[in-house]
């Protein structure tokens, strides 16, 4: 029988004691509020779970495990606001993360201000949220581009595309928008850009000559008949048709447009996320979309490729919306700041969040700078993408492009 020395026994006991301390350590709690019934919220949550898994497998943060606690906001403002209270008082979370809908987040602002916990929010594009939050919330970090930042990036994108492809025009734009905060603020942002363009100013100053819009009720909120709005668009005869709604609107929107014979040269959808199988539908071919990421980026970005493979390995399905890599980024960015701070002390983590730069799987480096009102804004632009032969490709910015634009739509 092999003898075991006293020293070996003592080392084993010490190792077991250290292991038990690690396992028993109080977790650092990230409290997320996501709409789990929507593909964006569902895949955001799965991506956050992947990030937490990788963090914990690497030893956690500050010698402690990370715990993710998720509450479903059901895309309802009152539930989203109550979720903040629950996470703060019942679950005693250390940080707030997550989020998608602007209307929900607007209702959460008073609760967030009540607790003043460090909040790294990945969703909500409406500038109304920025106004409500105000300039003094140094604990609030917003990752998603605001609506006016998105509009500016789209304008620059279409100007670059029109300059590179003289056959493509974008001088007449029609915007169809869902009636909630997201859609309405998108419309108002475009209206401001149009007013600037009439004076030859702003990102659309070179190309935009006429603009119109009409609202619709999203299928996500009980609607789904877009024919009245589509007839208005047909009468306007746009070069560029854009709809701002949700993933539930994608298939019926295109189907009803085809049913009416409405095939504008550029057909653009701008929901936060798309149905996972939209590319399998023949109606998708040539549809243009706005987003921060496309699956094709895995071919040109090492971290995007890592995210893609590990997400599928863990969950058994492909990420279909940019909110998935953005959710992963949400957790990893905060984790990197905590590691850099070396403490959970509030001021130190805030300073670290403002200082670090994180290479994100969406195909851009995340760093914090001021926006119009708040001091802690992350990403400031989107990309222009297109479904080509069933796959999402980047067509702008050109330095990230994975395909040339397919033009015109439906012809």
Q: CA-CA distance, 44 to 108, in Å (whole number)?
A: 19
pLDDT, residue 217, reads 97
pLDDT, residue 18, reads 45
Mean residue pLDDT across the chain: 92
pLDDT at residue 251 is higher than 50 = yes
pLDDT, residue 411, reads 59
pLDDT at residue 3 is higher than 60 = no
Q: CA-CA distance, 259 to 408, in Å (whole number)?
A: 18
pLDDT, residue 148, reads 86
Q: Do residues 51 and 306 touch, judged by C-beta distance below 8 A?
A: no
More confident site: 25 or 7: 25
Longest CA pairwise span in the chain (Å):
92
Q: CA-CA distance, 294 to 394, in Å (whole number)?
A: 6
Residue 192 burial class via C-beta count within 10 angstroms: exposed 0-12, middle 13-18, buried 19 and up? middle
Give per-residue burial for 59-80: e unless 16+ CB within 10 Å, then b. Answer: ebbeebbbbbbbbbbbbbbebb
User: CATH 3.40.50.2300 spans which residues of the chain?
Assistant: 25-147+300-383, 151-298+384-400
Q: Do residues 271 and 221 touch, judged by C-beta distance below 8 A?
A: no
Q: CA-CA distance, 314 to 355, in Å (whole number)?
A: 31
- State the DSSP string of 54-98: HHHHTT-BTTB-EEEEEEE-TT-HHHHHHHHHHHHHTS--SEEEE
Q: CA-CA distance, 216 to 225, in Å (whole number)?
A: 8
Average pLDDT over residues 262-291: 91
Give the DSSP H or E segment for 399: none
pLDDT at residue 86 is higher than 90 = yes
What is the fold of 25-147+300-383?
Rossmann fold (3.40.50)
HEC-encoded secondary structure of 241-309: EEEECCHHHHHHHHHHHHHCCCCCCEEEECCCCCCCCHHHCHHHCCCEEEECCCHHHHHCCHHHHHHHH
Average pLDDT over residues 174-196: 91
Average pLDDT over residues 365-374: 98
pLDDT, residue 7, reads 52
pLDDT at residue 187 is higher than 60 = yes
Q: pLDDT tier at 152 (50, 70, 90 boundaries)?
A: confident
Q: Name the range with the highest mean pLDDT among 108-112, 125-129, 390-394.
A: 108-112
Structure tokens at 203: 């990102």
Measuring CA to CA, which residue among 89, 91, 86, 116 is closest to residue 30?
A: 91
pLDDT, residue 277, reads 85
Percent of the chain exceeding pLDDT 70 equals 94
3-state helix, strand, coil split of the chain in percent (to 5) is 45, 20, 35
Percent of the chain exceeding pLDDT 90 equals 81
pLDDT at residue 116 is higher than 50 = yes
Average pLDDT over residues 86-91: 98
pLDDT, residue 120, reads 98
Average pLDDT over residues 124-128: 91
Q: How far is CA 284 from CA 130, 175, 332, 355, in A?
A: 34, 19, 33, 41
Q: Do residues 85 and 107 touch, judged by C-beta distance below 8 A?
A: no
**Cis amide leading into 343 (omega within 30):** no
Give per-residue burial for 87-121: e unless 16+ CB within 10 Å, then b. Answer: bbeeeebbbbbbbbbbbbbbbbbebbbeeebbbbb
pLDDT at residue 22 is higher than 60 = no
pLDDT, residue 11, reads 53
Give the DSSP H or E segment for 123: none
Q: CA-CA distance, 330 to 71, in Å (whole number)?
A: 16
Q: What is the dihedral of CA 72, 73, 74, 76, to 10 degrees?
A: 170
Does domain 151-298+384-400 fall under CATH 3.40.50.2300? My reply is yes
Q: CA-CA distance, 358 to 367, in Å (whole number)?
A: 7
């Amino acid at each position: 029988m092999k003898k075991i020395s006293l020293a070996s026994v003592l080392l084993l006991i010490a190792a077991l004691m250290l292991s038990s301390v690690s396992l028993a350590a109080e977790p650092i709690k990230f409290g997320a509020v996501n709409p789990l019934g929507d593909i964006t919220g569902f895949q955001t949550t799965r991506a956050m779970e992947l990030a937490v898994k990788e963090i914990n497998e690497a030893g956690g943060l500050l010698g402690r495990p990370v715990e993710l606690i998720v509450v479903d906001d059901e895309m309802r403002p009152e539930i989203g606001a109550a979720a903040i209270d629950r996470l703060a008082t019942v679950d005693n979370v250390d940080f707030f993360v997550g989020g998608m809908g602007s209307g929900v987040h607007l209702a959460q602002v008073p609760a967030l201000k009540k607790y003043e916990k460090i909040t790294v929010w990945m969703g909500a594009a409406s500038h109304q949220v920025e106004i409500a939050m105000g300039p003094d919330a140094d604990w609030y970090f917003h990752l998603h581009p605001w609506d006016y930042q998105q509009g500016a990036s789209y304008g620059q994108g279409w100007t670059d595309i029109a300059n590179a492809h003289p056959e493509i025009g974008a001088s007449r734009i029609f915007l169809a928008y869902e009636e909630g905060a997201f859609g309405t603020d998108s419309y108002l942002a475009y209206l401001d850009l149009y007013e600037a363009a009439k004076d030859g100013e702003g990102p659309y100053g070179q190309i935009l000559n006429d603009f119109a819009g009409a609202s619709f009720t999203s299928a996500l909120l009980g609607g789904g008949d877009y024919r009245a709005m589509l007839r208005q668009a047909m009468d306007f005869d746009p070069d560029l048709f854009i709809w701002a709604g949700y993933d539930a609107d994608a298939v019926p929107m295109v189907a009803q447009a085809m049913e009416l014979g409405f095939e504008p040269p550029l057909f653009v959808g701008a929901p936060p996320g798309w149905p996972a199988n939209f590319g399998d539908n023949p109606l998708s071919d040539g549809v243009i979309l706005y987003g921060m990421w496309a699956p094709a980026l895995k071919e040109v970005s090492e971290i995007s490729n890592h995210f893609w493979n590990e997400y599928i390995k863990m969950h058994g399905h492909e990420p279909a919306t940019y909110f998935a890599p953005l959710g992963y980024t949400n957790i990893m960015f905060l984790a990197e700041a905590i590691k850099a701070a070396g403490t959970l002390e509030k001021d130190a983590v805030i300073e670290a969040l403002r200082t670090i730069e994180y290479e994100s799987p969406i195909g851009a480096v995340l760093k914090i700078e001021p926006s119009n009102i708040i001091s802690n804004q992350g990403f400031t632009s989107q990309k222009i993408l297109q479904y080509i032969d069933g796959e999402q490709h980047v067509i702008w910015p050109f330095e990230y492009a994975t395909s040339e634009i397919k033009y015109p739509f439906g012809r």
